[in-house]
Structure 1
Amino acid sequence: MQSKIDISLPKVLVLGTGGTIAGVSTAHPAQAGYRAGALDIAALVAAAPGIEQLANLQAEQIASIDSKDMGAAVWVQLAGRIRDGLQQGDVAGCVVTHGSDTLEETAYFLHCVLPAGKPVVLTAAMRPATALSADGPRNLYDAVQVAACLQARGLGVVCVLHGRIHSACDVSKAQPTAVDAFSSGERGPLGFVGVQGVQITRQLPSQPPGPLPQTPWQPPRGSWPRVELVHSHAGADGAVVRALMQASQSGDPSHKLAGLVVLGTGSGTVHEQLQTALDEAEAAGIRVAYASRVGALSGGDFDGLNAIKIRIRLMLELAAATG
């Protein structure tokens, strides 16, 4: 879908993937029992009054899923379409509508594989489109404002929700039901968007730390390296790690374990019995990275990233290493 063109306005590519923002329900209240991803991106754009005054919009549907079902196949498709779109000289930026559950994962993946430059903005909603006071139209409107804004260039991928602009590196879903569900923790948002327009209040490195995948990034030729999350907790004995290692030896390539991300207690500490199993995994050639179940840790190869984003980073690094 291409909006009516006003040559005085920037052009923004808007990609739909489904989620609550495109959800529909006949129940009352409409927040209950809705079907995610029911509306297409053209309907979402049409439901945001005045959005056509911000930019010339080129809207395309990439997927129509509940974001709990998001996976690498859609990530790769998104990355390719965004890269192609932003290479067009008349495109100022890109917006992706997404479900809230895995928004931070998709955002961080795209942040790692896309070059910093033109804005790439993800947005979502906590209420379906048919809900009373649905939050999706305003979030989409704000996201287009940011994507069309010169100030937002060079920030890497950002998420715009509830009037806040979050870095893909920092953002996480911190509340399961509230409209103001997303947080950037102690670092805080990059800026705000509202009646005063777009305000960027802090900068950050536009690419994640550590060695980057090849540029331009290409997806792995085969299957993605399997990286799993393991929790340390009272009584953690390493049985889960050993079960994963045993499954890895089954001969099924999809079960082959390449990495583990450990959510340690406190500052990343791990139960001694679990640590023994992790040492066995490392000796078997499995990459092990440490995080905290409390929040992001400072320092090391994954400075400031939570466990979910470390998993994505590790997948990318392992994929790059194996070609």
Structure 2
Amino acid sequence: MKKLFLFLFLLLISIALFAQKLPRIKILATGGTIAGRGASADRSAYTSGELPIKDLIAAVPGIDKLATITGEQISNVGSQDMTVAIWMKLNQRINDIYKNNEADGVVITHGTDTQEETAYFLSLTVRYDKPVVLTGSMRPATAISADGPKNLYDAVALAASKEAANSGVLLVFSENIFSGRDAVKTNTTHVEAFTSPNTGPIGQIYDGHVVMYESPLRKANKNTPFDITGLTSLPEVAIVELYADAPATALNAYMAAGVKGIVTGGLGNGNLNKVNTAAVESAVKKGIPVVRASRVSSGRVTLLDETDDEKLGTVVSDDLLPQKARILLMLGLTKTKDQKQLQQYFFDY
């Protein structure tokens, strides 16, 4: 009897020691399709953000063997309703988790509509070099062949790996690993919804095995200049997309509304037609910084090409699309309105 008791005691100690060796992963849930529920498994209609985080974790076989997992519900919205306020809440919670040594890695479940924007915002504001990984799904949890459980498994595997450290904020989808800065949603319905048009994936995951091909150079993390601690809001920045024969109505309306910055989704190399060039010139004279981005999905907007940025007073977005250029300009405006300094941010981050 004593031998049996000793055996069971040693077995429990071994199990406890093994469990302690597993990385601690905190999953922060924000809602989205991955937490969606539909009326029928064979129909695409569903409601986002219906399932709580505990149900998402329970739906992933073997995830408990990758890490010791805990979950928190930060919000429960479709990502079309993502807000700057939720971004700031996420940022504060991640920084607190690492400051208080609550986890070794963080995974965020998120809708795909604005997932790339959240990833970039966090890549500029999280002040630690520890893993932060975003994922989601294109099919709701109740659908045939739902992709959420596999994506969540892969995200936890990545966050638990040594490869994720010092790599900036990452986004995992359909076994591909993307830099949070460069990931872009490029398909409205397919499960392979994300790409990085200018760089491609930086790694892949297969059967829970992480392979990284490269490490992003343009990442901020602990060296970020954008400390938003204590802020309750960010400067309002608007996006104006151009098209053939576009009037300056939107630009003028945003100026009248008192926005603090404007990003133009220009034509080709971020080009502006004559009436919008005149409106941009007016905005700059009023002290409203303007960033020239492009509606084209790949490539970069270059200084002093068809547009004389020095004369016009504009900043170029480099290779950031308008939705991401807006984020960097919002954060940049918490530090400065100087054209040269803002331009350097776009070249550095």
Residue 297 of structure 1 aligns with which residue?
300
Distance 1:159 1:114 in 2: 15
Matched with 2:245 is 235
Q: Which residues in structure 2 correspond to 1:1-323 (within 5 Å)? A: 6-32=19-45, 34-89=46-101, 91-195=103-207, 197-207=209-219, 212-215=224-227, 217-218=228-229, 220-221=231-232, 223-246=233-256, 248=257, 256-295=258-297, 296-297=299-300, 302-321=317-336
Unaligned runs of 5+ in 2: 1-15, 304-315, 338-349
User: What is the CA–CA distance in structure 2 between the aligned matches of 1:109 and 1:196, rounded to whole Å?
Assistant: 27
- Asked if structure 1 preserves the Cα contact closer than 8 Å seen for 2:294 and 2:301, the reply is no
Question: What's the offset of the Cα at 1:277?
Answer: 0.8
Distance in 2, Cα, partners of 1:20 & 1:257: 32
| 1:130-186 Cα shifts (integer Å, max 9, x gaps) | 000000000000000000111111111010010001001110100000000100113
**Aligned mates of 2:241, 2:231 — CA distance in 1:** 28
Count of aligned residue pairs for this structure pair: 307
Instruction: Work out whether residues 41 and 142 of structure 2, in 8 Å CA contact, stay in contact via their aligned partners in 1.
Output: no
TM-score normalised by the chain length of structure 1? 0.90
Query: Is the 8 Å Cα contact of residues 260 and 288 (structure 1) preserved in structure 2?
Result: yes
How far the C-alpha of 1:226 sits from its partner, in A, is 1.2
1:116/1:155 contact within 8 Å kept: no
Task: Show structure 1 runs of 5+ residues with no match.
Answer: 249-255
Please state whether the residue corresponding to 1:16 is helix, strand or coil.
strand
Q: Indicate the percent of aligned positions where both proteins have the same amino acid.
A: 40
Return 38-47 or 23-32, whichever deviates more: 23-32
Alpha-carbon distance in structure 2 between the residues aligned to 1:281 and 1:229: 13
User: Contact between 2:293 and 2:318, CA under 8 Å: does it hold in 1?
Assistant: no
Check the 8 A contact 2:154/2:208 in 1, yes or no.
no
Amino acid aligned to 1:289: V
- Aligned counterparts of 1:262 and 1:219: Cα–Cα separation in 2: 30
Kindly indicate which of the two structures has a greater share of residues assigned to helix.
Answer: 2
Task: Please provide the CA RMSD for this pair.
Answer: 2.0
With over 3 angstroms needed to count, the CA separation of the structure-2 counterparts of 1:298 and 1:277, relative to structure 1, is: closer
Kept in 1: contact 2:154–2:172 (CA 8 A): yes
SS in 2 for 1:199: strand
TM-score normalised to structure 2 length = 0.83
2:347 aligned residue? none
Shift of the 299–155 alpha-carbon distance from structure 1 to 2, 3 Å rule, reads farther
**1:183-234 CA distance string (max 9 Å, x none):** 011311110011260000012225259x95344x32535x421111111211
- Aligned-pair CA distance for 1:116: 4.5
Contact 1:67 1:103 in 2 (8 A): yes
Partner of 2:13: none
Tell me which residue corresponds to 1:253. none
